[in-house]
Structure 1
Amino acid sequence: MTTFTIGDTDFLLDGEPYQILSGAIHYFRVHPDQWADRIHKARLMGLNTIETYVSWNTHEPVRGEWDSTGWNDLGRFLDLVAAEGMHAIVRPGPYICAEWANGGLPTWLTTDTSLGLRSSEPGFVREITRFLENIYEIVTPRQIDRGGNVILVQIENEYGAYGADKAYLEELVRVTRAAGITVPLTTVDQPQPDMLRNGSLPGVLHLTGSFGSRASERLATLREFQPTGPLMCSEFWDGWFDWWGSNHHTTSPEVAAQDLDDMLAAGASVNFYMFHGGTNFGLMNGANDKGRYSAITTSYDYDAPLDEAGNPNAKFWAFREVIAKYAPVPDEVPADPTAAPILEVPLEATGDWLAPLVREIQTTEAPATFEQLGQDGALVLYAADAPAGLFAVDEVRDLAWASVDGTPVGRMSRREHEHTIALPSAGRLELLVEDQGRINYASRIGEHKGLIGVPTVDGAALTGWTATPIDVTAVAASVLEAAPAPAAAAYSGTVGLRASFTLDAASDLFLDTDGFGKGYAFINGFFLGRYWQNGPQRTLFVPGPATRAGENTVVIVELENVTIPSVRFLASAELGYLED
């Protein structure tokens, strides 16, 4: 039986010192047909381990409807890691942050305001126990002491930055051990005294750190709170994420390589966050709000050593060179990337996709939230009869387009702290509200979406609301089947567009969204994600397995305007301006 344990100064593999050289790949951010390729390239950089979070909200989007197939086949992902001769680290949370919608927690869970999130409150513990037992059914038989490759399991995630409920951590340990997990258990926190103190159970959980610079200093702080055993940076932030309305974030390969060298020279183990970031396909991007709401982009390239399309960049080679000083690195190297097909075909409009939708007839005094409607999608259409005057609402979460009797009258943005709009005339007020991404960090996790509070016009309550949840995927399907509309040089408002194009073979593509306003894109029914002219991201990554030889279809569900009515595919990604 192979063993993996924690010694006085090192991790021990069958009793011998072992330095973990790990990289993060989130199976839920990568097309399953491309998992093996990304894992193989991690080994070629010199890594011996793959780490992944587990996303509860993709495994169980509806309470009681558990899914571990396809994109959610964690077992297959771990088996592919093993087939590459690599170990695995699993971080099931249940909270994962990860710039992922709701920090990985299902919306049906956070809708229940009686649950004390990330605490020992009994109702929350009951739900997470059920989730963890489902995950551990997959992980337990794949542990290294049972012939598998899983060497570590993490408890919670940067909990010291959120709370200090030791009973909660103890309960997570109890459930984990009761489910048959026997490998060492770890925690991760930023190396700040309060966080390390709050997020740990000394003698029970092995502390690791998360940081992206000043490695020697951070490891010294970690050592104060983890006086024995191996040091590990289990989130070495080798890049950073992007959010809409900002620039594309990159970091220096040379500086990151030096920090890596410092860690490995000190004997520390490391997990690159990320080795390969992947993509927030569909509507799964998260958001942050530290006084200003910022929704994460569809791309999760992260400026990681393997880019969004799975190609090595300068960091890959810089890190490989450093790793070669401390561990064997394969002679094989990844093949040079090839340019994606360049195409342009005209888009055919199918008219206003919003107009034919059947409106809900149930009325409420105040607008129902997305959660009250059971809406886990991006859009809800609210409507009420309104007089002329100044419309106001406590908060818009997150973006609202207003019209009166079908005539646009303005927009309100949460990011800009806008919550009023002038209504020039009386009539039927409609507000199309978009959830731009669920908060993934700190105390606002689980917040409700929609129009928050009782709206007023000139200070008087506006009641009698209807609310129509909109399924974006169903809208895309209807656009594909709808009759064509008259062609135009540009289109305004909620318009559907489609096109067909031909490929000689299935291929990764980069869909250019320049000329589109804001909306959602689909290839052959596969939901690529959101686009927005607000940037920085200009292209959407299309994974090759979503395409096919012969005819392919693209559907655009637009919310604002289209100034270039054609669909173009570029040779490589365009992720936006860099910071000066």
Structure 2
Amino acid sequence: MDMKTPLSLALVFVSVFAVYCFDHALSTTVTYDHRALVIDGKRRVLQSGSIHYPRSTPEVWPELIWKSKEGGLDVIETYVFWNYHEPVRGEYYFEGRFDLVKFVRTVQEAGLMVHLRIGPYACAEWNFGGFPLWLHFIPGIQFRTTNDLFKKEMLRFLAKIVGLMKEEKLFASQGGPIILAQVENEYELVEWAYGVAGELYVNWAAEAAISLNTTVPWVMCRQEDAPDPIFTPNSPSKPKMWTENYSGWFKSFGYPIPHRPVEDLAFAVARFFEMGGTFHNYYMYFGGTNFGRTAGGPLVATSYDYDAPIDEY
């Protein structure tokens, strides 16, 4: 045997072993107990802030995220906007302001974590709540209930986003920054209108999310009846999480500019932690701009400044 052969085999073995160890060293486990999120076996008290990637441009993402880190944040929270990622059924768009992968990677490069609110209903004063317009024209569809047509489309988009994040190795278990995911949003506000169908839909949405195997916990914003293991508010077996502490409010044409005194905001945060909270999010930390026709809701202005810690400009 050539003397080079054992050396070559040894080098190949070392290289494969190094890659294996590197990949596994980067992986992060995210679980929870009754007190807090548990990351790599340690309870964490986390400060988070909302930055919606399409409400700014890729050129300023690094600056916004670094300023957020300097402000003491551990996590960046964002919605995912279905109507711009799938403007035509089956045709996807992830470029420019809608380059979700680039945004998540930019957060990771700053050493921060991500809470990805996939929804796909967002609200967020965004046009049609984030739903694509073509969804409305599917005959027989009914949104956010036990309608098979809607559930099929919702699950397809959830799977698309989760699949993309997995492909790019962006979940914590893959060495990525995503430590939390969210299905649906503020459904409790409308669930009563659907009655039993609403309750069944909540259970279906939870099961659909868990079936995607993200390896990170899922939340439902303000959903008291969310089934295990989805986070529910004020549960003795789940950590106290505040995903939307409003730093201000959105602007509307013809109305005064909203303002929340910083002293009031700071007191609310301190009070939350004093009461046992361990995950807090400023909504918004940077509000940004409603470009084009993205604003949704009566008289919502182009500016989405939100009186946030980092202002629009």
Interval of TM-score (by shorter of Structure 1 and Structure 2): 0.7 to 0.9
Deviations along 1:32-67, whole A, 9 cap, x unmatched? Answer: 111111111110100000000000011111222111
Contact 2:206 / 2:227 at 8 angstroms: preserved in 1?
Answer: no
Deviations along 1:517-537, whole A, 9 cap, x unmatched? Answer: xxxxxxxxxxxxxxxxxxxxx
Q: Determine if the alignment matches structure 1 residue 153 to structure 2 residue 178.
A: no
**In structure 1, C-alpha distance between the alignment counterparts of 2:85 and 2:57, rounded to whole Å:** 15
Residue in structure 2 matched with residue 111 of structure 1 by the alignment: 137
Contact 1:74 / 1:138 at 8 angstroms: preserved in 2?
Answer: no
**In structure 2, C-alpha distance between the alignment counterparts of 1:142 and 1:55, rounded to whole Å:** 18
- Give 2:217's match in structure 1, choosing from 184, 188, 210: 184
**In structure 2, C-alpha distance between the alignment counterparts of 1:253 and 1:166, rounded to whole Å:** 38
- State the TM-score, normalized to the length of structure 1: 0.47
Amino acid in the other structure paired with 2:207: R
Q: Determine if the alignment matches structure 1 residue 204 to structure 2 residue 229.
A: yes
Amino acid in the other structure paired with 2:212: A
- State the 1:166 CA deviation: 3.0
- Give 2:295's match in structure 1, choosing from 277, 285, 292: 285
Deviations along 1:500-551, whole A, 9 cap, x unmatched? Answer: xxxxxxxxxxxxxxxxxxxxxxxxxxxxxxxxxxxxxxxxxxxxxxxxxxxx
Give ranges in structure 1 of 5+ residues lacking alignment. 190-195, 209-222, 288-293, 310-580
- Give 2:271's match in structure 1, choosing from 262, 279, 283: 262
- State the TM-score, normalized to the length of structure 2: 0.85
Residue in structure 2 matched with residue 564 of structure 1 by the alignment: none
Contact 1:239 / 1:249 at 8 angstroms: preserved in 2?
Answer: yes
Q: Determine if the alignment matches structure 1 residue 60 to structure 2 residue 69.
A: no
**In structure 1, C-alpha distance between the alignment counterparts of 2:130 and 2:136, rounded to whole Å:** 11
Deviations along 1:456-478, whole A, 9 cap, x unmatched? Answer: xxxxxxxxxxxxxxxxxxxxxxx
By relative contact order (CA 8 Å, sep 6+), the higher-ranking structure is 2
SS of equivalent to 2:153:
helix
1:222-371 counterparts in 2 under 5 A? 223=234, 226-268=235-277, 269-287=279-297, 294-309=298-313
SS of equivalent to 1:234:
strand
Residue in structure 1 matched with residue 21 of structure 2 by the alignment: none
**In structure 2, C-alpha distance between the alignment counterparts of 1:113 and 1:270, rounded to whole Å:** 41
Residue in structure 1 matched with residue 119 of structure 2 by the alignment: 93
Residue in structure 2 matched with residue 8 of structure 1 by the alignment: 34
- State the 1:207 CA deviation: 1.9
SS of equivalent to 1:32:
coil
- State the 1:175 CA deviation: 3.0
Residue in structure 2 matched with residue 128 of structure 1 by the alignment: 154
Amino acid in the other structure paired with 2:300: I
Number of equivalent positions = 279
- State the 1:139 CA deviation: 2.5
**In structure 2, C-alpha distance between the alignment counterparts of 1:247 and 1:92, rounded to whole Å:** 32
- State the 1:169 CA deviation: 2.6
Contact 1:152 / 1:185 at 8 angstroms: preserved in 2?
Answer: yes
- State the 1:84 CA deviation: 0.5
SS of equivalent to 1:206:
coil
**In structure 2, C-alpha distance between the alignment counterparts of 1:182 and 1:62, rounded to whole Å:** 30
Contact 2:33 / 2:238 at 8 angstroms: preserved in 1?
Answer: yes
Residue in structure 2 matched with residue 377 of structure 1 by the alignment: none
Q: Determine if the alignment matches structure 1 residue 142 to structure 2 residue 175.
A: no
**In structure 1, C-alpha distance between the alignment counterparts of 2:69 and 2:145, rounded to whole Å:** 38
SS of equivalent to 2:119:
coil
Contact 2:209 / 2:218 at 8 angstroms: preserved in 1?
Answer: no
Consecutive aligned runs of 4 or more in structure 1 exceeding 4 Å deviation:
none
Residue in structure 2 matched with residue 530 of structure 1 by the alignment: none
Residue in structure 1 matched with residue 66 of structure 2 by the alignment: 40
Aligned sequence identity (%): 37
**In structure 1, C-alpha distance between the alignment counterparts of 2:56 and 2:130, rounded to whole Å:** 16
**In structure 1, C-alpha distance between the alignment counterparts of 2:126 and 2:282, rounded to whole Å:** 18
Instruction: Report the structure, 1 or 2, having the larger helix content.
Output: 2
Amino acid in the other structure paired with 1:86: L
Residue in structure 2 matched with residue 504 of structure 1 by the alignment: none
Contact 1:244 / 1:297 at 8 angstroms: preserved in 2?
Answer: yes
Residue in structure 2 matched with residue 399 of structure 1 by the alignment: none
- State the 1:178 CA deviation: 3.1
**In structure 1, C-alpha distance between the alignment counterparts of 2:294 and 2:133, rounded to whole Å:** 12
- State the 1:89 CA deviation: 0.2
Residue in structure 2 matched with residue 449 of structure 1 by the alignment: none
Residue in structure 2 matched with residue 50 of structure 1 by the alignment: 76
**In structure 2, C-alpha distance between the alignment counterparts of 1:7 and 1:146, rounded to whole Å:** 22
Amino acid in the other structure paired with 1:203: D
- State the 1:113 CA deviation: 5.8
**In structure 1, C-alpha distance between the alignment counterparts of 2:287 and 2:111, rounded to whole Å:** 22
Instruction: Report the structure, 1 or 2, having the larger strand content.
Output: 1
Q: Aligned in 2, Cα 1:202/1:172: closer, same or farther, shift over 3 Å?
A: closer
**In structure 2, C-alpha distance between the alignment counterparts of 1:265 and 1:113, rounded to whole Å:** 51
Deviations along 1:467-494, whole A, 9 cap, x unmatched? Answer: xxxxxxxxxxxxxxxxxxxxxxxxxxxx
Deviations along 1:57-110, whole A, 9 cap, x unmatched? Answer: 111112221112222211111111111101100001111100000000011112
**In structure 1, C-alpha distance between the alignment counterparts of 2:137 and 2:295, rounded to whole Å:** 18
**In structure 2, C-alpha distance between the alignment counterparts of 1:67 and 1:26, rounded to whole Å:** 16
**In structure 1, C-alpha distance between the alignment counterparts of 2:299 and 2:90, rounded to whole Å:** 29
**In structure 1, C-alpha distance between the alignment counterparts of 2:187 and 2:229, rounded to whole Å:** 15
